[in-house]
Structure 1
Amino acid sequence: MPICFKVATHKANQVKQQAHKSATSPEELLAKVWDEKQQWACAELLQSSFSENRFPNVVHAEGNGFVETAIAAYNGHHHLVLRPDDVWIAILGQFNFYVNAHVKELRAQFVRHKKKKRIEVTARGSRYTVDFGALSKDMVEAIHKNVVDNELKDWILPDFSTTTDHDTVISAVLMMSTMKGYFNYSMSLMCGIPSVTLEGEKADWDKLVKRLDKLSSFGPEPTAWVQLLRPIFNRFAQAFNGDPDVDFWSRICHHQSFGSGPVYLSGWITAFCVWSATGEWQGPPLAFFQQSPASETPHRVPSEYPQGSRLFLDGVLYPVLDYYNHVTLGFCDVDVKLDDNGKKIDCMMVAGHVACLVGDKDSDTIRPLPSWFMFIKKEKSQEPNLKAKRAWKKFCSCF
Structure 2
Amino acid sequence: SQHINYNAEKFRYRFVNHEGKKEIGITVNDILAQNNSRLEGDWPEAVNRLVVETDQAVEKIDVKSLLECDFSTTTKNSLTASRIVLLDMLKEYFSYKMYLCCGIPKITLEGTLEDWTKLQEKVIQLRQLDLDMDFWLDKLDPVVWQLIETYKGNVDEDFWSKIISLQSFGSGPSYVTGWTMALFPYKNNGKKLEGNKITPDDFPDGRVEVPFTTDTGLSLKFVAGFLGAQQKSLENSDELVVSPVIGWFVIDDKTTN
More off after superposition, 198-207 vs 356-365: 356-365
CA separation of 1:251/1:8 partners in 2, compared to 1, >3 Å: closer, same or farther?
Answer: farther
Count of aligned positions: 156
Amino acid at match of 1:266: T
| Alignment pair present for 1:9 and 2:25 | yes
Q: TM-score, normalised by structure 2?
A: 0.53
> Distance between the aligned counterparts of 1:13 and 1:350, measured in 2?
38
1:270 maps to which of 181, 188, 202: 181
Q: Deviations over 1:234-279 (max 9, x none)?
A: 010001221111211110114xxxxx56521221011122312453
Give the Å deviation of 1:218.
3.9
- TM superposition shift of 1:337: 1.0
Compared CA separation, residues 79 and 350, structure 1 to 2 (3 A): farther
**1:281 corresponds to 2:199:** no
Verify the 8 A CA contact 2:188 2:204 in the aligned structure 1: yes
TM-aligned CA deviation for residue 345 of structure 1: 0.8
Q: Does 1:334 align with 2:245?
A: no
For the Cα contact (< 8 Å) 2:164–2:178, is it kept in 1?
yes
- Residues of 2 paired with 1:373 and 1:8: CA distance? 44
In structure 2, the partner of 1:373 is: 249
Output one character per residue of 1:199-237: Cα deviation in whole Å (capped at 9) or x when no partner.
0111111111111112222433x1121110111000100
Please say if 1:356 is aligned against 2:229: yes
Aligned to 2:197: 320
> What are structure 2's unaligned runs of at least 5 residues?
1-22, 31-100, 169-173
| CA 346–360 in structure 1, closer or farther in 2 if over 3 Å, else same | farther
Residues 348 and 368 of structure 1, relative CA distance in 2, 3 Å threshold: same
Q: CA separation in 2, counterparts of 1:12 and 1:347?
A: 49
Q: Distance in 2 between matches of 1:320 and 1:77?
A: 18
Q: Distance in 2 between matches of 1:269 and 1:212?
A: 16
Task: Indicate the residue corresponding to 2:116 in structure 1.
Answer: 205
Output the CA distance in 2 between the equivalents of 1:377 and 1:355.
22
Q: Is the 8 A contact 1:349 1:372 kept in 2?
A: yes
Higher relative CO (Cα under 8 Å, sequence separation at least 6) belongs to 1
The equivalences for 1:222-241 within 5 A come to 222-241=133-152
Per the alignment, residue 28 of structure 1 pairs with none
Give the Cα separation in 1 of the matches to 2:108 and 2:178: 19
The RMSD of aligned alpha carbons is 3.0
- Rg bigger for which structure? 2
Mapped contact 2:211–2:253 kept (Cα < 8 A):
no
Aligned counterpart for 1:250 among listed residues 161, 171, 175: 161
Q: Distance in 2 between matches of 1:283 and 1:354?
A: 25
Gaps of 5+ in 1: 1-6, 15-74, 81-195, 255-259, 285-318, 381-399
Cα distance change on mapping 1:197 and 1:371 into 2, 3 Å: same
Q: Distance in 2 between matches of 1:213 and 1:242?
A: 23
CA contact (8 A) 1:79 1:366 kept: no
CA–CA separation in structure 2 for the residues paired with 1:8 and 1:268: 24
In 1, the alpha carbon distance for the partners of 2:176 and 2:119 equals: 24
Listed one character per residue, the Cα deviations across residues 105-128 of structure 1 (whole Å, up to 9, x for unaligned) are xxxxxxxxxxxxxxxxxxxxxxxx
Q: Percent identity?
A: 23
Whether the 8 Å contact between 1:215 and 1:223 is mirrored in structure 2 is: no
Check 1:233–1:8 CA distance in 2 against 1; reply closer, same or farther (3 A cut): farther
State TM-score, norm by structure 1: 0.35
Report the secondary structure of 1:9's partner residue.
strand
In the TM superposition, residue 12 of structure 1 has moved relative to its aligned partner by 8.2
Note closer, same or farther for the CA distance 1:78–1:242 as it changes in structure 2 (3 Å cut).
Answer: closer
How does 1:1-399 map onto structure 2 within 5 Å?
A: 9-11=25-27, 76-78=102-104, 196-216=107-127, 217-220=129-132, 222-254=133-165, 262=168, 263-284=174-195, 319-324=196-201, 326-339=202-215, 343-360=216-233, 362=238, 364-378=240-254
Distance in 2 separating the partners of 1:283 and 1:352? 23
Q: Residue 48 of structure 1 aligns with which residue? A: none
What amino acid does structure 2 have at the position aligned with 1:348?
Answer: K
Q: 2:126 is paired with a residue of what secondary structure?
A: helix
Judge conservation of contact 2:167–2:177 (CA < 8 Å) in 1: no
